Amino acid sequence: MKTSVVKLLAPAIVLLSPAPEETVSLWSDFQRDFAQKEVARQRAPRKDVFIDYLNLTPSKIDHSIPEPVVFKWSGAPAKGRRVLEIAEGKEPENARNVIRHETEKDEFLVYNLKAATFYCWRIVCGGFSSAWSRFFVADEFPRWINVPGATNVRDLGGYKTKSGARVRQGMIYRGSEFDRHQIIKPSGKQVLYRDIKLKTDLDLRGGTEVPPGYKPTLDPAKVQWVNIAIRPYDMIFCEEQAKQYAKILKLLADEKNYPVYFHCWGSADRGGTLAVLLEALLGIPESDILADYEFTTCSIFAERRVGFKQFDTLLEKLYALSPDLAEAAALYLISGGATREEIESFRRIMIEK
C-alpha cells in the first residue's frame, strides 16, 4: 500500500496597504487645509494682538494629532501572532531602524514614522513571511508627533536649509508639558521612551510652574530633566534672558543629550520663540520658520499669527542685529555667552551630511 505525501504550501500573505510605491501622508485633513491656507509665507501686516502666554485658555479640540499609517494584509495563517516589520530605507537589505509590532489582527496602525522617507515592510507569521513592499512618507513638514496626553508635538527636523541640506529628524522635538495643564498618558510615556528614545527633557518653565521640590514626570533613570526658564518674544532682549538662551545652545551643542524634547506650557510662545532661534541658526528659510510658528494654531492653544504684535517685534529686533536671520540668531546667542564653536557643533549635529 502506497503512502501518500501531503505537501504543505506556504500561505500567500498579501500586503494590501500601503500599496507598493504608494506615497502616504501623515497630515490630517485639518492640517493639510491649514497648510494650504496658511498665510505666513510672507510677513503679515501687524495686528496689535497681545498674547498672555501664562494664562492660556485651551480649547477642547486638538488638531495637532497626525494620521497613522494604516497597514493591512490578508492570507496569514488563521492562528498565530502576526509580526509587522517596518524598515527605514529603499531596499530591505540596506534598511535600518527596523520596527516590529505584534498583533493578532490583519490590520495595524503605526504613528510617528519619519516624513520624506522610504520604508519597506512585510508580515511574518507562523514561520512564513510575505514579500517585502515599499512605500514613501510624504515630504510634508512640520512632522507632527502623536504623544498621548500631550499636544502641539512636532519634530524640529525635516526642513531643508537655504543651502539645500536637510535638518535631521528625530533629534529635537517641541511640545506641551507633561503635567499641570497637560497630563501625559502612560502610552505617551512609552512613545517617548521606546519610540523616540528620549534622552533630555528640557523644561522651559519657571516660577510657580516649577515649585521647590518639583519632581519631573518622566523617569529620571531614563530621561534627564534640565530646567532652563525663559521668556518669549521681545522679552528675550535683555542680559538675563540672553544668558538663559545661551545655556540652551550649550546643551544642544553636546550630542550625548539627544534626542531632546523642549517644552513650556504648550510650546506656543516660549517654545515657539526658541524654535525660531534654532531654526534660524540652522539656515531654514524665513518662510518655513514663519509657517512653523503659525502651525501652533492647529493645537489647543488658540491662533498664532506672525503679524501679532509680540512676534512681529521679535523679528524686528532680530533683524536689527543682522539682515541675515541665521547670523542674527547667532549674534543674539553669543551676546549671552554662547560661542561660535558651540553654534557650529549644533549645526553639525542637526544637519544631514
Return the C-alpha cell found at 58.
485651551
Residues of the chain under the 50 pLDDT cut: 1-9
Other CB atoms within a 10 A radius of the CB of residue 206 amount to 16
What length does the chain have?
Answer: 353
Closest CA to 325 of 272, 288, 270: 288
Q: Which residues pair with 72 in a beta bridge?
A: 17, 107
Query: What is the model's pLDDT at position 127?
Result: 83
pTM: 0.92
Query: What is the model's pLDDT at position 6?
Result: 38
Between CA 28 and CA 104 the distance in angstroms is: 27
Query: What is the model's pLDDT at position 210?
Result: 94
Question: Could you tell me if 41 and 291 are in contact, meaning their C-beta atoms sit under 8 angstroms apart?
Answer: yes
Return the C-alpha cell found at 128.
512564513
Between CA 113 and CA 7 the distance in angstroms is: 40
Q: Which residues pair with 143 in a beta bridge?
A: 155
* Residue 150 identity: A
Query: What is the model's pLDDT at position 48?
Result: 79
Closest CA to 223 of 267, 193, 264, 250: 193
Q: Tell me how far CA of residue 202 lies from CA of 96, 205, 285, 332, in angstroms.
A: 28, 9, 25, 20
Between CA 64 and CA 231 the distance in angstroms is: 24
pLDDT tens for 248-307 read 999 999 999 999 999 999 999 999 999 999 999 999 999 999 999 999 999 998 889 888
Is residue 38 classed exposed, middle or buried when 0-12, 13-18 and 19+ CB atoms within 10 A define those classes?
middle
* Residue 224 identity: Q
pLDDT tens for 112-127 read 999 999 999 999 998 8
Question: Could you tell me if 272 and 290 are in contact, meaning their C-beta atoms sit under 8 angstroms apart?
Answer: no
